[in-house]
Chains A and B, each alone.
Chain A
Amino acid sequence: MKHYAVVHGPNLNLLGKREVGIYGGRTMESINADVEAEAKRLGVTVEFYQSNGEGELVTFIQQCRGRVDGILLNAGAYTHYSVALRDGIGAAAVPAVEVHISNIYKREAFRHVSMIAPVCIGQICGFGAYSYILGLRALIEERLDPWLA
């Protein structure tokens, strides 16, 4: 059975409690429960990790190498400036999908750039908690055979 890591970056532990106008009222725990249910439906397993620390995230992602089949990553604000995280994803050599709850392109200019997007398969943003569900499907859904050469 395929196994995936769902990684939440800084401040996502406060989901549902901070800036709900932007990030919605859902907590990280309830989003994780949705992802868990979707994983079950798709016949895969998931584990969850959240850290506010850039170094901790880098270490976790490094340790995904050879251990998980893919990473679903909401790197929060680190998305926009963490070269270390980008290198960590590259080093992990595991397919990663970048997700965001909000549509980052509707927001401040500094959020329009993602350091990690070039080392991910792709990016999904703007669909609230559902971004994670779409991200998991993007990583695994066999029904939607990988189409690119």
Chain B
Amino acid sequence: MKTRTFLVISGPNMNLLGTRKTSIYGKGSLEDIHRGLRARAEELDVGVECRQFNGEGEIIDCLQQAPGRFDGVIINAGAFAHYSYSLRSAIASMLLPCVEVFISNVHAREEFRHTSVIAPVCVGVIAGFGKKSYLLALDALANLGAA
């Protein structure tokens, strides 16, 4: 039994990673990311559970059930990041540290992607490093409390 376990949530269209817009999102699949996270979790001696949802409500349901079961959350909310106030409220009310990640550098893309409505209720944001964004977020969560 690991002392700490983290929940990793990927949002809409992430199930299609590796098959769509590969110049932006890369050629790897979401399963590749999950495999990388599990390996990194092993090195860090923490647990990790990875989920993906296309539905906003399903993500909210999952976040609401996270307290008591997980010690922190990594979220790639995809397009929801830019407009989902209900996701923001769900993150704020779960009272668990949450790290926001993006595969692409959202700041180098369309203007509507420059704003994240969930960033202010997260510990921090990691954007632009492909699959690495997730792995760095796991490093960040595992390090919380250590620094």
- Where the two chains meet, the residues of A that have a C-beta atom closer than 8 Å to any C-beta of B are 103, 105-106, 112-114, 117-131, 133-134, 137-138, 141, 144, 146-149
A114 and B107 contact, CB distance less than 8 A: yes
A-B contact pairs, 15 of them (CB 8 A): A103-B122, A103-B124, A105-B125, A106-B120, A112-B115, A118-B108, A121-B105, A121-B128, A124-B124, A131-B124, A134-B136, A137-B132, A137-B136, A138-B126, A149-B27
A144 and B131 contact, CB distance less than 8 A: yes
- Decide yes or no whether B1 CB sits under 8 A from chain A: no
Main secondary structure of the interface of B (DSSP, over half): mixed
Question: CA–CA, A122 to B107, complex, Å?
Answer: 8
B128 and A149 contact, CB distance less than 8 A: no
The residue from A103, A117, A121, A122 contacting B120, defined by CB atoms under 8 A apart:
A103
Tell me whether A149 and B139 are in contact in the complex, defined as CB-CB below 8 angstroms, given that A105-B116, A122-B128, A134-B126 are known contacts: no
- Decide yes or no whether B28 CB sits under 8 A from chain A: yes
Contacts of A130 in B (CB 8 A): 140, 143, 147
Contacts of A124 in B (CB 8 A): 124-127, 136
Least CB distance from A42 to B in Å reads 13
A138 and B129 contact, CB distance less than 8 A: yes
Contacts of B25 in A (CB 8 A): 148
Tell me whether A127 and B123 are in contact in the complex, defined as CB-CB below 8 angstroms, given that A148-B26, A149-B23, A149-B27 are known contacts: yes
Q: Convert B104-116 into 0s and 1s, putting 1 for each residue whose CB lies closer than 8 angstroms to a CB of A.
A: 1101100000111
Tell me whether A117 and B105 are in contact in the complex, defined as CB-CB below 8 angstroms, given that A122-B128, A126-B125, A146-B130 are known contacts: yes
- Where the two chains meet, the residues of B that have a C-beta atom closer than 8 Å to any C-beta of A are 22-23, 25-28, 36, 99, 103-105, 107-108, 114-116, 119-120, 122-133, 135-136, 139-140, 143, 147
9 new A-B pairs (CB below 8 Å) besides A105-B120, A106-B120? A105-B119, A117-B108, A118-B105, A121-B105, A122-B133, A123-B127, A126-B122, A127-B143, A134-B140
Least CB distance from A25 to B in Å reads 11
How many A-B contacts at CB < 8 Å in the complex? 101
Contacts of B122 in A (CB 8 A): 103, 105, 126
Contacts of B133 in A (CB 8 A): 122
The residue from B27, B99, B124, B139 contacting A137, defined by CB atoms under 8 A apart:
B139
Question: CA–CA, A123 to B124, complex, Å?
Answer: 10
B130 and A147 contact, CB distance less than 8 A: yes
Question: CA–CA, A112 to B130, complex, Å?
Answer: 22
Least CB distance from A85 to B in Å reads 14
Tell me whether A127 and B128 are in contact in the complex, defined as CB-CB below 8 angstroms, given that A103-B123, A105-B120, A113-B114 are known contacts: no
Tell me whether A125 and B124 are in contact in the complex, defined as CB-CB below 8 angstroms, given that A130-B140, A137-B139, A138-B136 are known contacts: yes
